[in-house]
Amino acid sequence: MYNTPRPISLLLGFLLCVLAFYPLYGDLVFGSKASFFMSKLTTIVIFAILAMSLDLLVGITGLVSMGHALFFGLAGYVLALASPEYEAASIWYILPLVLLCCAALGAVVAFLTIKTSGIYFIMVTLAFGQMGFYFFNDAEFSGGSDGMYIMLKPDVSLGGIQLLNLDEKQTLYYLSLACMVFVYMVLRMILRSAFGQVLIGIHANEHRVKAIGYNTANYKIVSFVIAATLAGLAGFLAASQYGFVNPSQMGWHTSGYALMMVIMGGAGTIFGPAIGAFVFEILHYVFESFTDHWLMLMGAVMICVVLFLPNGIGGALLSLVQKKETTGEKNDG
Amino acid sequence: MAEVLLKAQDLTKNFGGLYAVDSVCLELMKGEVHAILGPNGAGKSTLVNLLSGDIMATSGSVMFEGQELTKLPSYKISHCGIGRSFQKTNIFPKLTCFENVWLAAQSRQKTSMRFFRPARKMADVKELTMTSLKRCGLEARAETVASSMSYGEQRQLEIGMMLATQPRLLLMDEPMAGMGKEESEMLVGLIKELAQDYTLLLIEHDMDAVFAVADRLTVMVNGRVLETGTPEQIKSSQQVQEAYLGSEGGF
């Protein structure tokens, strides 16, 4: 549960290389569409971050949130609202501000919802997500349902020298990729830490965790805040990429897609939801090229995943590897 | 033996009109093994749940080592030095024995809000985990997934987890429930061993086991204490025989 088996690490490393070297082979494979696909990949990588952050709640702590996009969207609005009108915001203050706002709202939502569990937690988080959606949808200052433009992308410079230019597609691509790896590492670290052990216990049997002396509510709140902050990082990157933010980014559709990515990829495996994000978005792209009703096809895929891969792609990979390693000695009832 | 470790005064819990526990007074002496007997529905488990903070009392008070426990939630009571095991096996089925006990041992750290260091590097927690596993007799099963163990071993694991929280008082709710003869005998041995170091409050239906280990007994009927005394006093009590032991036919 705590160590990624070697074959999986190798596979993840390989997939990461495929992504990292895209600029080298993109032109050869996709020709004139290479640049379009790089933007697409950036979007997917950002969704992978969102899905992994949601996995901390769904797969690790056992809290199924249907309002996770609230923080994804909020990050974009904070970026748009706090940026100066005619110059680029410096990333050194705007990024911490965005993350702080997401953490703060995460703490408020967690504090109000954490006493509920199961279906009630799903409904209450959904309600908070929709509250955010309608707040920004109806607010004059944030452009209503049209949303807001972020004319100038955050400026990454140190001592007057520009380090990264986020207007360049490739730079943003690599920045997102680096953030994805960073978030994965952070979540692995949390999982192995003393805090992570308690979360795993809460998922398995919260009553027992309380009985051996943990105030489980506090651990769940902190887990929620961390997940909200990481979702905020994804939202920050997304808003930087699109150059605008609108209410639909925090609506329940987005929360639902993130949840589907987690389920497809395998809740609780952390790397799984990242893979889930890729599979979901690639299928989305392919289905959309056939029909406007791509969600119908996606629904069919979801049903198949739930039926045939109940632990998602990540879970299936893990059991495949473990079967080979232990030749049936360990019984995972 | 003379020092009072825990004192419950007029402890009452009602669920609507049903008084599951009705003005119970109970004194546990330091170092004793105190068993609670009573027919089904007598309120024994509710009493243990009140003492461990799993449910809140309607009225009455509980004092433990001079500290008021009455309104404290279960996680705080655990830190006061009261450990408990459950009637229905209550473990983390998908984790290994080691991981189950680890989590209990880790709760004795000042805080588990630590995010950076790998948990397994905490040497003191590891040591406490291993001692507790050894104590409950599951040392050899450390790496076995809990759900794949026998029922008796799962009950042992439950005790191991309780011990890892370093309690001074153990509340054991029917530790032998559903066990075979051999397993029960082993567990009676284990309880006798534990009795040397801990104060025990034991709920048990197995009369042989109870009379083999208990220093004092409390008999409950319909949420009330009928009588408290040594095994001999209880055996010879007219009142108890009529209410409870008589129906068993053995005494």
Residues A63-80 pLDDT 10s: 999 999 999 999 999 999
- Is the model's pLDDT at A328 over the cut of 70? no
> Mean pLDDT, to the nearest integer, of B101-122?
94
- Is the model's pLDDT at A332 over the cut of 60? no
Task: Specify the pLDDT at position B74.
Answer: 95
The per-residue pLDDT of chain B, averaged, comes to 90
Cβ burial of A140 (10 Å; 0-12, 13-18, 19+) is exposed
B214 touches B35 (CB < 8 A): yes
> Mean pLDDT, to the nearest integer, of A174-182?
97
Higher-confidence residue of A330 and A134: namely A134
- Residue (of B136, B139, B156) closest to B98 by Cα position: B139
A198 touches A67 (CB < 8 A): no
Adjacency order of strands within the sheet including B59-64:
B18-29, B4-15, B59-64, B67-68
Cβ burial of A293 (10 Å; 0-12, 13-18, 19+) is exposed
Q: Position B193: which residue type? A: E
Neighboring chain B residues of A200 at a CB cutoff of 8 Å = 95
Task: Specify the pLDDT at position B181.
Answer: 85
B46 touches B224 (CB < 8 A): no
Q: Does the distance separating the beta carbons of B122 and A193 come in below 8 Å?
A: no
Q: Does the distance separating the beta carbons of B74 and A210 come in below 8 Å?
A: yes
Of these ranges, A317-326, B37-46, B233-242, the one predicted with the greatest mean pLDDT is B37-46
Interface A-B: count of C-beta contacts within 8 A: 101
A71 contact partners, CB below 8 Å, separation of at least 6: A102, A105, A106, A227, A228, A229, A231, A232, A235, A250
Neighboring chain A residues of B93 at a CB cutoff of 8 Å = 204-205, 333
A212 touches B78 (CB < 8 A): yes
B52 contact partners, CB below 8 Å, separation of at least 6: A211, B74, B77, B78, B82, B84, B171
- Interface check for A214 against chain B (CB to CB < 8 A): the answer is yes
Task: Specify the pLDDT at position B247.
Answer: 54
- In three-state secondary structure terms, B47 is helix
Helix (H) or strand (E) holding A161: strand A161-164
User: What are the beta bridge partners of residue B203?
Assistant: B36, B173
**Distance of alpha carbon A269 from the chain centroid:** 13
Q: Which residue of B has its CA nearest to A187?
A: B115
Confidence of residue A326 (pLDDT cuts 50, 70, 90): low
Tokens 């987005």 belong to which residue?
A254
Task: Specify the pLDDT at position B161.
Answer: 96
Confidence of residue B249 (pLDDT cuts 50, 70, 90): very low
Q: Which tens digit of pLDDT belongs to each residue from A11-44?
A: 999 999 999 999 999 989 998 999 999 999 999 9
| Percentage of residues in chain B having pLDDT higher than 70 | 96
CB atoms within 10 A of CB B72: 19
| Percentage of residues in chain B having pLDDT higher than 90 | 71
**Distance of alpha carbon B223 from the chain centroid:** 18
Q: Which residue of A has its CA nearest to B167?
A: A212
Q: Does the distance separating the beta carbons of B147 and A213 come in below 8 Å?
A: no
Confidence of residue B251 (pLDDT cuts 50, 70, 90): very low
Task: Specify the pLDDT at position A159.
Answer: 84
Q: Which tens digit of pLDDT belongs to each residue from B31-59?
A: 999 999 888 888 999 999 999 999 999 99
Q: Which tens digit of pLDDT belongs to each residue from A135-164?
A: 999 999 999 999 999 988 998 988 888 888
- Is the model's pLDDT at B244 over the cut of 70? no
Q: Does the distance separating the beta carbons of A210 and B115 come in below 8 Å?
A: no
- Residue (of A42, A248, A39) closest to A132 by Cα position: A248
- In three-state secondary structure terms, A207 is helix
Helix (H) or strand (E) holding A205: helix A194-211
Q: Does the distance separating the beta carbons of A213 and B78 come in below 8 Å?
A: yes
- Is the model's pLDDT at A60 over the cut of 60? yes
Distances (CA, A) of A313 to A112, A205, A277: 33, 25, 11
Cβ burial of A43 (10 Å; 0-12, 13-18, 19+) is middle
Distance from CA of B200 to the nearest CA of A (A): 17
Cβ burial of B58 (10 Å; 0-12, 13-18, 19+) is middle
Interface of B with A (CB under 8 A): 52, 54, 73-76, 78-79, 84, 86, 90-95, 99, 102-104, 106-109, 112-120, 122, 145, 147-148, 161, 164-165
B131 contact partners, CB below 8 Å, separation of at least 6: none
A125 contact partners, CB below 8 Å, separation of at least 6: A65, A66, A67, A68, A109, A113
Tokens 């020709």 belong to which residue?
A31
Q: Which residue of A has its CA nearest to B143?
A: A330
Helix (H) or strand (E) holding A280: helix A271-290
Q: Position A36: which residue type? A: F
Higher-confidence residue of A222 and A5: namely A222
Helix (H) or strand (E) holding A148: strand A148-149
Q: Does the distance separating the beta carbons of A212 and B112 come in below 8 Å?
A: no
How would DSSP label each residue in B155-199?
HHHHHHHHHHT--SEEEEE-TTTT--HHHHHHHHHHHHHHHTTSE
Of these ranges, B14-18, B47-51, B201-205, B211-215, the one predicted with the greatest mean pLDDT is B47-51
- Is the model's pLDDT at B185 over the cut of 50? yes
A100 touches A94 (CB < 8 A): no
Task: Specify the pLDDT at position A64.
Answer: 96
Q: How far apart are alpha carbons B124 and B179 in whole angstroms?
A: 33
Residue B179 phi/psi, 5° resolution?
Answer: -95, 150
B35 contact partners, CB below 8 Å, separation of at least 6: B201, B202, B203, B204, B210, B213, B214, B216, B217, B218
- Interface check for A205 against chain B (CB to CB < 8 A): the answer is yes
Q: How far apart are alpha carbons B163 and A194 in whole angstroms?
A: 19
Q: Does the distance separating the beta carbons of A204 and B118 come in below 8 Å?
A: no
- Is the model's pLDDT at A7 over the cut of 60? yes
- Is the model's pLDDT at A238 over the cut of 60? yes
- Is the model's pLDDT at A1 over the cut of 70? no
Task: Specify the pLDDT at position B245.
Answer: 54
Rg (CA), chain B: 18
Instruction: Name the percent of chain B in helix, strand, coil, to the closest 5.
Output: 40, 25, 35
Q: How far apart are alpha carbons A185 and A188 in whole angstroms?
A: 5
> Mean pLDDT, to the nearest integer, of A233-242?
96
CATH number of B1-81+168-251: 3.40.50.300
pTM: 0.93
Domain with CATH 3.40.50.300 in chain B: 1-81+168-251
Higher-confidence residue of A172 and A328: namely A172
Neighboring chain A residues of B86 at a CB cutoff of 8 Å = 211
The per-residue pLDDT of chain A, averaged, comes to 93
Q: How far apart are alpha carbons A230 and A204 in whole angstroms?
A: 24
Task: Specify the pLDDT at position B239.
Answer: 83
> Mean pLDDT, to the nearest integer, of A183-194?
96
Q: How far apart are alpha carbons A35 and A31 in whole angstroms?
A: 9
